[in-house]
């Protein structure tokens, strides 16, 4: 019996270039207004077709039930939706920090949906894959949408947005932030006015951008506040998502290199270039 042939697929991280909390639904989910951008820092998802119909995660993550892993759930969801009899073996090479607000788990799940859509010969439209992705998590659809986006609702209503080229210094404060806990501690009194007023104007300069969850997380985790304070020496840093990672936008690689060289002596992180489209953009129509 021949060994299965694995194909490698990138699952890029994302940054929230701003994040406004604008309301709360009756079911408890908060309504957001945020701008997503992909960056060229990624996990690698490797997939091999199986003819026994099984979905097998060959690289389970410590502390995570393989059956609850988002990649396994994504494959099974797609399998059930399309009544597909093929299976898949999954290997994950994780580079994106967990609990960092970079969307690693969501991106991995989206990459599985996009890659298997092609490998299983399903050719489902992008809109259908986005609907399936939303069942897995609010951040999954944007990775299937595949472009920089202004997101509203719980993050699932997406409109393409044009962004300037940029480089990012991303620092991981070495803490994992549970999203649910952040929103529990979030005060309703600081809700942003609804209306998307001047999003493009806000994006023009980093000084005007903000993340409404940043103060909550900074108070919960001093390490996040420490990184924000350090990066403020070089510009206007921002936390991504519900944390814990903090980033600084730079206009050139040289500028980003200088900042990273200065801060990487003390803090762990990486440099990344902003992307305009997802690397698997062509795997769905």
pTM of the model: 0.95
Residue 236 has which token pair?
A: 């206007």
Cα–Cα distance, 99 to 82 (Å, whole number):
31
Q: Which domains does the chain have, with CATH numbers?
A: 7-160 (3.30.230.10), 167-273 (3.30.70.890)
Nearest one of 240, 219, 237 to 228, comparing CA atoms:
237
Bond from prior residue into 97 cis (ω within 30 degrees of 0): no
Question: For this structure, is 14 an active site residue?
Answer: yes
CA torsion sign for 232, 234, 235, 240 is: negative
In the chain (285 residues long), the average pLDDT of successive 10-residue segments reads 87 98 88 96 99 97 90 98 98 96 98 99 98 96 98 92 98 92 78 64 84 95 98 98 98 98 98 98 93
Q: Per the residue annotation, which of 43, 69, 108, 139 is the catalytic one?
A: 139
Cα–Cα distance, 76 to 7 (Å, whole number):
19
- What are phi and psi for residue 180, nearest 5 degrees? -60, -40
Question: For this structure, is 268 an active site residue?
Answer: no
Q: Per the residue annotation, which of 14, 43, 108, 212 is the catalytic one?
A: 14
Q: How many CB atoms lie within 10 A of CB 31?
A: 18
């Amino acid at each position: 019996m021949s060994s299965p042939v694995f194909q490698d697929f990138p699952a890029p991280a994302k940054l929230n270039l701003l994040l406004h909390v604008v309301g709360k639904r009756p079911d408890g989910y908060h309504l957001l207004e945020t701008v997503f951008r992909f960056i060229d820092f990624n996990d690698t998802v490797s997939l091999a077709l199986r003819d026994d119909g099984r979905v097998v995660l060959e690289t389970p993550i410590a502390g995570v039930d393989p059956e609850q892993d988002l990649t396994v759930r994504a494959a099974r969801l797609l399998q059930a939706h399309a009544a597909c009899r093929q299976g898949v073996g999954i290997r994950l090479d994780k580079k994106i920090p967990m609990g960092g607000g970079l969307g690693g788990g969501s991106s991995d799940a989206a990459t599985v949906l996009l890659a298997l859509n092609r490998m299983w010969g399903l050719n489902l439209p992008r809109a259908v894959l986005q609907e399936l992705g939303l069942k897995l998590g609010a951040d999954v659809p944007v990775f299937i949408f595949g472009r920089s986006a202004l997101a509203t609702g719980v993050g699932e209503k997406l409109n393409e947005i044009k962004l300037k080229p940029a480089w990012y210094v991303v620092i991981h404060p070495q803490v994992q932030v549970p999203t649910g806990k952040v929103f529990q501690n979030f005060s309703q009194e600081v809700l942003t006015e609804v209306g998307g007023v001047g999003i493009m104007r806000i994006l023009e300069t980093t000084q005007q951008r903000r993340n409404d969850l940043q103060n909550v997380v900074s108070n919960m985790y001093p390490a996040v506040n420490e990184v924000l304070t350090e990066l403020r020496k070089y510009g206007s840093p921002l936390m991504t998502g519900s944390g814990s990672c903090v980033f600084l936008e730079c206009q050139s690689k040289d500028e980003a290199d200088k900042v990273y060289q200065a801060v990487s002596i003390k803090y762990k992180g990486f440099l990344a270039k902003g992307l305009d489209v997802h690397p698997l953009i062509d795997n769905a129509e």
